[in-house]
Amino acid sequence: MSQPNRLASGGLIDRTRPLAFTFDGRTYSGHPGDTLASALLANGVTLVGRSFKYHRPRGVLTAGSEEPNALVELRTGARREPNVKATVAELYAGLEASSQNRFPSLAFDLLAVNQLASPVFVAGFYYKTFMWPAKLWEKLYEPLIRRAAGLGRAAEAADPDPYEKTTAHCDVLVIGGGPAGLAAALAAGRTGARVILADEDFALGGRLIAERRELGGQSAARWADEAEAELANLPEVTVLRRTSVLGAYDGGVYGAVERVSDHLREPAPHQPRQRFWRIVAKRAVLAAGALERPIAFGGNDTPGVMFAGAVRAYLNRYGVAPGRRAVVYANNDDAARTVADLNAAGCELVAVVDARGDSPALHAAARTAGALLVFGGAVARAYGGQSVKGCEIVDARGGSFNVACDLVAVSGGWNPTIHLTTHLGGRPQWRDDLAAFAPGGTPPGMTVVGAAAGAFGLGEALAAGAQAGAEAANDCGFSGGTFDPPRADDDSGETRGLGPWRVPAKRGKAFVDFQNDVTVKDVELAAREGFRSVEHLKRYTTLGMATDQGKTANVLGLALMAEITGRSIPATGLTLTRPPFTPVALGALGGAHRAKEFKPTRLPPSHFWAEEQGAVFVETGLWMRAAYFPRAGETDWLETTIREVETVRTKVGVYDASTLGKIDVQGADAGAFLDHVYINTFSTMPIGKARYGLMLREDGIAMDDGTVARLGETHYYVTTSTAHAASVMRHLEYCRQWLFPHLDVHLSSITDQWAKYAIAGPRSRDVVAALADDGFDVSDAGLPYLGVKELTVCGGTRARLFRLSFSGEMAFELAVPARYGDALIRAIMAAGEPFGICPYGAEALSVMRIEKGHAAAAELNGQTTAADLGLGGMMSKKKDCIGKVLSQREGLADPARPRLVGFKPVDRSQRLRGGAHFVPRGAAVTAANDEGYMTSVAYSPSNGCWVGLGFLARGQERIGEIVRAVDPVRDGDVEVEVVAPVFVDPEGVRVRG
Amino acid sequence: MRIPCPYCGVRGLDEFAYLGDATLIRPDPAAPGAEAAFHDYVYLRDNPAGLHRELWQHASGCQSWLVVTRDTRTHAIGRVEVARDVAAARGSGAE
Amino acid sequence: MAEPLVARSALRPHVAPHASAAGAHGVTLREVENLTLASVAALRGREAELVQAVRAAYGLDLPTGPARVASGKVAFVGAGPGKWLAVSSAPTEFSTLPAAVADQSDGRTVLRVSGPKARETLATLIQLDLHPRTFGPGDAAMTHAASIAVHLWQVDDAPTYEIATFRTFAATLWRWIVEAGQARGLDARAED
Ligand SMILES: [Zn+2]
């Protein structure tokens, strides 16, 4: 397992520890400190993937998160992750990676014939080539394209690893751990301010560890080490390595992802794979550095063509020679550094091509390296297929010649990494002196320093970082503790890329966006066809899309469009970016709470008992409610539900009503307040009484219903529907605080305080009598229908007893403090046993409320008024209430509106369906003939047939009429008889028994 | 976005529930033209680019309704007042 | 007559499992049982009367902000403008106060989270800044833990936090704290 391209010495790798890994099934060896990319290059592997559209062979272009080419599938099985940048993936023992987007193998890819078909795949091919016939799109074109063009494969199994979200607060957030960021963190941290330093790399230092530089008389990498050690000892400083700050949000909030375990084969027990950080920072220092950019020349995507800065990173940080015979091609002074580093590493320098005129800095470097020096020339073309074998160089006079090489180090200049400055709408500014975009507006509280601000010199980056860090801490009230940056070995390096942006390609494709296979020709085509704005260019050619979002491509694409259209770059436009800066796993955004723990689960007090009974549960909002309690021998829910309903109607049943929202209302003006929010009047209701209440929205539509009980002169107890408990509470607080601020009224949610059981049926009084302590009168005289009393049960437990019925039977609601809820359901069952009691669930409750015509969520559906519900008579004429004025407007008061009525199938054996629409008999099934819809249906044991509730135009005037209930979705078409919306005990005798 | 609740301190957006324009005043239901006034009150909204006084509830905190002045262009939060104090001061309410 | 009813916690083992890491415990989780809790709201125009009554009965000055004051077994925790949560570790009749008082002894479950990793554990659920420079003993806050509404206060510098949540959310909150604490040396038992 030799590493032929590993240099004999140097680099920040642990050469004492070999790490075995596989790529496309072959085993290689690297070291701790390697990325997958550096380890592959050390092993002489330059062909890493195939391109998106043309399946062109691709290698490693960069040494960072901007990598567009070297995307691999990492890991296998459920942990397989596509589109991982080999330049970021940290090597670990046993790492398994494979190339993607190739068939059948990386070296022999059949679909590389796409290149021959490239006229088909030019920009806009989606829009043009497959326009007609459209019916072939789904069956032919799309599958073909998806097979041919694409990136990696997602894992097909659920992600087995945990994720975590956390929040951190700090005075100063420093984004980027290069020279400027380290200086900022030290300067801020020494004041005692709370500082977070985040860097996406696993090692701090940025370019300090990628270059051979000196700081304060020692190697820059050593200085970075010492800086990190000091930061680790400052108690209020947190250093987050492997952490990408992805977005800037309002109010000084930043999102970041820490790759906690991505550098391990799998996470340690209980450790997350990744951790999402929500960072709240008073000040931020953006020290994100700069990204090198390409020059467009023929074959510039050939493996072995690499950014010059990346070449230096592989040489210096990883001790890897990405090639042995190099051509350096640049339009800035970075070329000198590249030449010197390659020479120092023992690589042969074939030629140095500087696109500019004469450059003194380069003379010395080239002479030392013995390289052919070409000023004012260009690399016109790189060739070699799967790895570069040579390139064609054009000199200043237009003469051209070929040289053999296995590495072309290219630098088209540097773009400040300004993405985070634009997330809140800051508009970058083009600076001619940098030939790049620099930050324009920044998010409030953010300072940009170093290369990200266009200050490319090491000394100026350190100074600006130190100053910004100190100022940010001062702004937060911290002072003292100083940091004087070390002296840097600054040369007068000229790093702006002054063009050319491209070389007229004689042969071969010149790529602008490597990941999307967008070439110079595509940009030209877009310009010819009128897609000249940068936004149109992006949509038409896909330039700047996909996982790298054009980090290396956008400025080049823009410059080319400017050149083609004869405009300046700023006049051509700019591409703003949105979060995230780099792709983020959905798992990290989801965090720890997923699947069953996505939301809280609320368990009513009888839950454990109900589980013991074998209840089947149904989710209602956050609640788990018992839907029905099957018994041995019962075969389906309907059979069980019918038995439960019949038991309640003939004997007695018990239901856990604890999930209803409960609100304690107190204060001298409690009654007046309730009069404002309900359509009916509660201020005059006697103490010890309860009544049904309906509240409206201000637009006149019904909002929620429930019961209101008066416990004392200034004390009421209100229930809401289970689903609307929280929104009703919010509405009531709105009314209390904003609409009626002078009222003395106080609201307290007591939903969870009370366990409440509905005991319903002809024998319910017997059950209550058995539970009530001595001396409590449960007779009709002692507690009449709609009465409320406090009492004690079971030997001293305080309780509230309400004579209320939702089922239509004589019924009581018995409430005790929730801690006794479990014991009380067991006591009720024991007390009811002699009377044949059974528990009933939400299904039986629903059947019985439909049989009684009580409205529920399906009827209070956000479209219905009190009058629609048949409750118009409840509205007090003597007072105003929320929604009263608008409920009386023309449209809502229209007597032709659909009104709540009941329905039975004419053929009593037929089943009804909720959602069916009513049309007159003999009329066509059209929207014009639509007269309303069915809201709730149930099989009624009492009626021996299905019954339904629904809204029918002028329904109350049409009792006895027959209409069609049409359900086109399920092919339902049933003739139904319009009946009064009460199917059991229409006189209401039973509840008063 | 972070909103300074006068009672609780500065909290993240996710603790707050938005309602809307805080300059709207519930009309007098007994006044002539009440129906038209209520129509405007319920349905008509301006959409200003700039400062907007709006109602938020600190729903995951102290339950206070707040009148928040926000710049709709930048989400910069200006003054935050307790809605009940604002309402009481202007003498609104249906009494 | 029926048998006396037995009180039960909302935290049964199968919905709020115990967990204990080997080695040093970074964070300890317990339920605080048998508290008397009540929401207390000052009646309009009678605010001063309530302040006097609390001072007379418990020797406490009601906090005007999100803070907790305690004396002996009784504490009052700010719960919003003019509102408090009264807490007592002994049976206490708060309903005699001149205020709108609602019993919450069963409406809330109180969890106690303490230890050197308590802050880090809670940071995965609660977005508040619990750093000692901004939140210390006697401070209180209402917020949410992930999506669960909580009312919490700091008791001591251990640090120890008490977290009141609606009873029916307590089991989920328990599981979420256990999940976050397991990587941080958790010791979680519903009762000591
Ligand atoms: Zn608040």
Q: Which of A329, A371, A350 is nearest to A497 (CA)?
A: A329
Torsion of CA A725, A726, A727, A732, to 10 degrees: 80
Residue B95: per-residue pLDDT: 38
For chain C, first and last CA: distance in Å? 34
- The owner of tokens 């210096």 is A316
Report angle CA A66, A590, C130 to the nearest 5 degrees. Answer: 100
CA distances from A837 to A567, A646, A772, A940 (A): 86, 11, 17, 20
Q: Which of A759, A853, A769, A776 is nearest to A810 (CA)?
A: A759
Whether C80 sits inside 8 A of B7 (CB atoms) is yes
Distance from CA of C98 to the nearest CA of B (A): 22
d(CA A576, CA A595): 35
pLDDT-above-90 percentage for chain A: 83
d(CA A512, CA A293): 10
CATH number for the B2-24+48-92 domain, one of 3.40.50.300, 1.10.10.10, 3.30.2270.10, 3.90.400.10? Answer: 3.30.2270.10
A820 pLDDT tier (thresholds 50, 70, 90): very high
Q: 3-state class of A526 per DSSP? A: helix
Q: Where are the domains of chain B?
A: 2-24+48-92
d(CA A758, CA A648): 11
d(CA C156, CA C159): 5
B62 and A CB contact within 8 Å: no
CA distances from A101 to A41, A72, A721 (A): 20, 9, 54
Tens digits of residue pLDDT in C45-69: 999 999 999 999 999 999 999 999 9
Residue numbers of C between 69 and 98 with CB closer than 8 Å to B = 78-81, 83
Q: Which of A28, A25, A29 is nearest to A13 (CA)?
A: A29
d(CA C76, CA A629): 44
Residue A137: per-residue pLDDT: 60
CA distances from C129 to A239, A566, A855, C65, C135 (A): 18, 54, 46, 17, 7
The sheet with strand A390-394 has its strands ordered as A378-383, A390-394, A400-404
Q: Which of A312, A297, A352 is nearest to A330 (CA)?
A: A352
Tens digits of residue pLDDT in B24-73: 999 999 999 999 999 999 999 999 999 999 999 999 999 999 999 999 99
Query: For residue A618, what is the enclosing H or E element?
Result: strand A616-620
Chain CA centroid to CA A544, Å: 22
| Chain A residues in contact with B83 (beta carbon < 8 A) | 737-738
Q: What is the DSSP string of A32-62?
A: TT-BHHHHHHHTT----EE-TTT--EE----
Tens digits of residue pLDDT in A952-991: 999 999 999 999 999 988 889 999 999 999 999 999 999 9
How far does residue C63's CA lie from ligand 1's centre (Å)?
A: 15
Residue A127: per-residue pLDDT: 59
Helices assigned H by DSSP within A134-255: 136, 142-148, 179-189, 220-233
Q: Which of A470, A486, A468, A490 is nearest to A478 (CA)?
A: A470
Q: 3-state class of A812 per DSSP? A: strand
More confident residue, C122 or C19: C122
Distance from CA of A633 to the nearest CA of C (A): 29
| Chain B residues in contact with C149 (beta carbon < 8 A) | 60
Q: 3-state class of A592 per DSSP? A: coil
Q: Which of C11, C164, C143 is nearest to C75 (CA)?
A: C164
Q: Are A209 and A220 in contact (CB under 8 A)?
A: yes
| Res. A107: pLDDT tops 80 | no
| Res. A1: pLDDT tops 60 | no
Whether B2 sits inside 8 A of A253 (CB atoms) is yes
One-letter amino acid of A66: E
Average pLDDT over residues A584-613: 95
Residue A495: per-residue pLDDT: 59
C141 pLDDT tier (thresholds 50, 70, 90): very high
Quote ipTM for the complex.
0.97
Q: Are C71 and C2 in contact (CB under 8 A)?
A: no
Query: For residue A849, what is the enclosing H or E element?
Result: helix A842-852
Residue A325: per-residue pLDDT: 97
Q: What is the DSSP string of A659-698?
A: TSEEEEEESTTHHHHHHHHBSS--TTSPTTBEEEEEEE-T
Residue A944: per-residue pLDDT: 96
Q: 3-state class of C88 per DSSP? A: strand
- The owner of tokens 């004396």 is C71
Q: Which of A939, A941, A932 is nearest to A961 (CA)?
A: A932
Query: For residue A430, what is the enclosing H or E element?
Result: strand A429-431
For chain A, first and last CA: distance in Å? 92
Residue A145: per-residue pLDDT: 60
| Res. A148: pLDDT tops 60 | no
Interface partners of C (3+ CB pairs, < 8 Å)?
A: A, B
Q: How many CB atoms lie within 10 A of CB A859?
A: 23
| Res. A492: pLDDT tops 60 | no
| Res. A496: pLDDT tops 80 | no
Query: Residue B28 gets which letter from DSSP?
Result: P
Q: For helices A821-832 and A764-771, what crossing angle results, to 10°?
A: 120
Residue of B nearest to C81 (CA): B7
Q: How many CB atoms lie within 10 A of CB A873?
A: 9
Average pLDDT over residues A239-252: 97
One-letter amino acid of A782: G
d(CA A587, CA A273): 9
Average pLDDT over residues A427-447: 94
Residue B93: per-residue pLDDT: 45
Residue numbers of C between 104 and 133 with CB closer than 8 Å to A = 104-108, 120, 123-124, 126-129, 131, 133
- The beta strands (E) that lie in A794-944 are given as 797-802, 811-817, 838-839, 898-905, 917-920, 932-940
d(CA C154, CA C134): 12
Tens digits of residue pLDDT in C7-16: 999 998 888 9
d(CA A968, CA A631): 36
Whether A698 sits inside 8 A of B57 (CB atoms) is no
| Chain B residues in contact with A743 (beta carbon < 8 A) | 93, 95
Phi, psi torsion values for A728, nearest 5 degrees: -65, -40
Q: What is the DSSP string of A437-479?
A: EE--S--TTEEE-GGGGT--SHHHHHHHHHHHHHHHHHHTT--
Residue of C nearest to B8 (CA): C66
For chain B, first and last CA: distance in Å? 36
More confident residue, A123 or A21: A21
A362 pLDDT tier (thresholds 50, 70, 90): confident
Least confident span in A484-493, A641-650, C80-89, C164-173: A484-493
Q: Which of B29, A751, A225 is nearest to C167 (CA)?
A: A751
Residues contacting A113, CB < 8 A, separation 6+? none
C177 and A CB contact within 8 Å: no
Phi, psi torsion values for C102, nearest 5 degrees: -125, 130
Query: Residue A934 gets which letter from DSSP?
Result: E
Average pLDDT over residues A280-285: 98
- How many Cα atoms sit within 13 Å of B60 on the Cβ side? 21
Name all domains of chain C by residue range, CATH numbers in brackets. 18-34+106-189 (3.30.1360.120), 36-103 (3.30.70)
How far does residue B62's CA lie from ligand 1's centre (Å)?
A: 4
Q: Are C104 and C39 in contact (CB under 8 A)?
A: yes
C144 and A CB contact within 8 Å: no
Residue B16: per-residue pLDDT: 97
| Res. A925: pLDDT tops 80 | yes
Sign of the alpha-carbon torsion through A244, A247, A248, A253: negative
Residue B94: per-residue pLDDT: 41
Average pLDDT over residues A108-133: 63
Mean pLDDT of all residues belonging to chain A: 93
Least confident span in A31-40, A572-581, C28-37: A572-581
| Chain A residues in contact with B5 (beta carbon < 8 A) | none
| Res. A47: pLDDT tops 50 | yes
Which residue(s) pair with C28 in the sheet?
C114, C187
Residue A134: per-residue pLDDT: 59
Longest dimension (CA), chain B: 43
Phi, psi torsion values for A418, nearest 5 degrees: -105, 10
Interface partners of B (3+ CB pairs, < 8 Å)?
A: A, C
Q: Are A167 and A280 in contact (CB under 8 A)?
A: yes
